[in-house]
Structure 1
């Protein structure tokens, strides 16, 4: 049975590298027991941001 509980909720996420805005107003929810990652076009230059929630 799939879990309906939310481990992490993000609203209005913004990120900039210097003057370059790369995220602007991103909303998402990560259900308990799932793995979620944000990957961009420069993942070779920076490690990906990832979130892992417990089962």
Structure 2
């Protein structure tokens, strides 16, 4: 099932301005040393990571 809202959304400046403005998209999710790391593209110009320790 799809979520009702966005999973991630542009918030930081580097997520808002680039080749394609106002865009974030998931690239991959990995479990590493007890943490979840979500890699995502930002504004079609960079790759960022979000980390969850849960």
Greater fraction helix: 2
Q: TM-score, normalised by structure 1?
A: 0.32
The structure that has the greater radius of gyration is 1
Greater fraction strand: 1
